[in-house]
Structures are given as structure tokens and as C-alpha cells.
Amino acid sequence: MRDVVIRDEVIRLGQLLKLAGLADSGGDARALLEQGAVTVNGEPEARRGRQLRAGDVVALGDDEVRVSAG
């Protein structure tokens, strides 16, 4: 698991997927979410606009990232 530092208090899931390098674009992020490939804190998530805070863990396959406050 690796940490992804965010500047603000929250970040949207679609933005985090791009920031963490898990998706190349917003379209890629949307496709991954629609396929059910992404989990947040162990639960499947399909909402690109889901607000994430420090400590939340996002997983795509074997790749896990934790949101960390900057």
C-alpha cells in the first residue's frame, strides 16, 4: 500500500484514481468504476464523485492507495 497526499481536506474518487496513476483519464476512471473494479475501504464503489478523506483506502486489483493529508 502506498500513500497519496492530497492538498485539501477531501478529494473525489475520480480525481484520486488519476492522481494515483490508477486511471489515465476521467473516462478511464469512469469505466473502471462502472465495471465494479474499484473498492473504497473494502466496499465496491461506482460513484466517481465519492468524497474521500485522509485514511480512506482505495483498491484496484492488487494496487491499494491510502489517502493522506498534506
CATH at 43: 3.10.290.10
pLDDT of 70 > 90? The answer is no
| Residue 6 and residue 69 in contact, taking contact as beta carbons nearer than 8 Å | yes
- State the average pLDDT over residues 14-22: 97
Residue 41's domain spans which residues? 2-69
- The reported pLDDT for the residue numbered 13 is 98
Per-residue CA distances from 22 to 30, 53 (Å): 12, 18
Strand partners, 59: 39, 64
Residues 60 and 70: their CA atoms lie apart, in Å, by 23
Digit-coded pLDDT (tens) for 21-46: 999 999 999 999 999 999 999 999 99
Domain count within the chain: 1
Spatial distance between the Cα atoms of 69 and 16, rounded to a whole number of angstroms: 13
User: Is residue 57 a contact partner of residue 65, using CB atoms and an 8 Å limit?
Assistant: yes
